[in-house]
Structure 1
Amino acid sequence: MNRRLVFAIPGDLRTMTGGYAYDRRMIAELGALGWSVTHLELPGSFPDPGPSDIEETARLLAEIGDGAAVLVDGLAFSAAPEVFAAQADRLAFVALIHHPLALETGLTRQRQDALRAAETRALELARAVVVTSAMTGRELTDSFGVEPGRITVAVPGTDRQARAPAQGAPPTILSVGTLVPRKGHDVLITALSRVADLDWRCRIVGDATRDLDHASALAQLIGGFGLGDRITLAGGVDDTGAAFARADLFALATHYEGYGMVFAEALAHGLPIVGTRAGAVAEVVPADAGILVEPNDVPAFGGALRTLLADPALRRRYADGAFDAGQRLATWENSARHIDDTLRRLAA
């Protein structure tokens, strides 16, 4: 059997987001399972490519040998169906969907409709579709018409971690996520303003360069609430492990997650969680590991924070539940084997 795979990914593979972390790890894990993986870097403008980026993508795809298996990150595959359609008869495309593009926060209705139509057309071209949560698989079937038999669920793996020790007073709240509207940091900051009477510190770790206007607005929001000495915008880091190890509580008010890798990492470190029932988060975070509220509900999010901050014993019980759940999470090898099985079926 041909064990060669082209993995087409837009932009810099070193980008510090959950999606790119997944792609990097799958390259390594599939290699360990015997695949010869060639990383093909597509233009970084996806999912909003210009004409020259479409031409470059078409050129790169045309250079791939006939019959090759090509795993394509959905940031590119879902946004430009026409360029992939031109090669679909001779290349075996497998789409990797972290979450549907049309579900990104802050899109106009026109842009949302255009992305949904493009993604629907693109997914028709894929020989198989890999998703990072069962919830995303159901979404693709219900809203994009993808047959369940073409869908493989390969959730992000989680490395086993030592349990984070309690940091003492004041408790440290950690939030991890790129500073973009979908992550709901504005909701978190506003909710924290409602519990300013309690003793706590918060560290928000995430790349501030993806949306400079939004990052600036968050800094102004913190200043406006007079919380500059209690909330730190720490920027992006190469390894978040140290941040999780120095925290007492994880909080993220995200509006949507195709899986929620940072929630899984919080579980692995035994951190109690305050989050939202957004996307697949409720599939990742069990009831005994934290408190989940509806997205964009500042009073509820603030109330959940108050509940855990004011009751150390309850916080410890949720921490116990979180760590237990973390021990049951899939490993990266487990997840890669699901993709390996799909690729083997295609090759056969």
Structure 2
Amino acid sequence: MKAISLALGFRALAILSVFLLWGFYTLNGTTKANLLAPLNGKLNENITLKNDYTGIFILDYPISLLVTFFYFATNGSDEGFQLLVFEGYSTLQSSFVWVYAEMLRPGSKPWTIATPLFFVTLSQILGGAISLPLYYAYHILWIDGAEILRVRDQDAAQALPFSFLLGAVLPAILGCAPTWNGPDSRSPEVHQKYLAFFQVDPLWVTLIQTLLAKLFRRLRYSEGGNPAQGPKTAHRWTRASYLLAAASSAIGRLYTAARIYTSTEEGTNLARMRIPYPPEGPTGGLPDIVARGPFLYLQFDIPIFELASMVWAFLLLSRMPNRPRGSDLTLALTMLIGYLTVGAGATVSLALYVREGLLLEKEKAQTR
């Protein structure tokens, strides 16, 4: 299939996601309630909403909007909801590694590939089901007309796993802690402060990635490192980042599966967690539309960006001319098994790990 047709397919999926995510979110009144909550300073009649993090309205208002959205998804009040979000974000956070690794590849790139901060921020604001398919559309068109080689920037590649851990994983662990510690482990005000920190993790990733790359470059120059070893070192660090992302996603998947299997909560089951109930969303323990609306939103968001990511990884790997022998059907079945066991995030990360190795072989073959 031609790249332009694949890109159109990803864009169509993004457009469909706008209607599924934001259509029901608006229809059931959640958009209105979400917009008004920061202005009123209340999540509901019982919970005050903090809306003065910096004292600057144009910064505080969007942060409070996102805190409102994620509050009932992370405060430990509904086990099934919390586990859905935890597993979904364990996949979404791995996309930081995927898009930043593509940014680091040598050669000219369109701004859509060279500026991953735009798409990861868009995921935070509009949803991964909208931003990631859009990114994949641009990426497919880019690789169709460009020579894609392994990452060669040793310092940036070395910074990648650290920016992922400190900028994406750590904020998520802090923000989602009531998922395993219980709702009584934090007061509403304290939890909202953690969530505010969690909302700017795209900026943390970019900032840490930039600063660490400069630090590693300075240290390497001061120590007189061998420049000839740079590409090999960059290759190892890039693949290590993919493995780290795979491990992070797999842990999220397996932890969720274990909690579901051992839970005694009536609402903690795959049917309630994964099957959307439009237009109001799931009930059972959720107090109002500010809680139910985001649940329904994420029931559409998570499977769509998981599916889009799986298809993107399949396309990248299947188009490698030097990949191991086997049909596309075998590859698809292998990835399906990965999705059903360790989850979409781990499967995509492992597929990209394999692709990175094939890019190395491709480069070697061209220099013979």
TM-score (norm: length of structure 1):
0.31
Q: Which has the higher strand share?
A: 1
Higher relative contact order (CA 8 A, sep 6+): 2
Of Structure 1 and Structure 2, the greater helix share is in 2
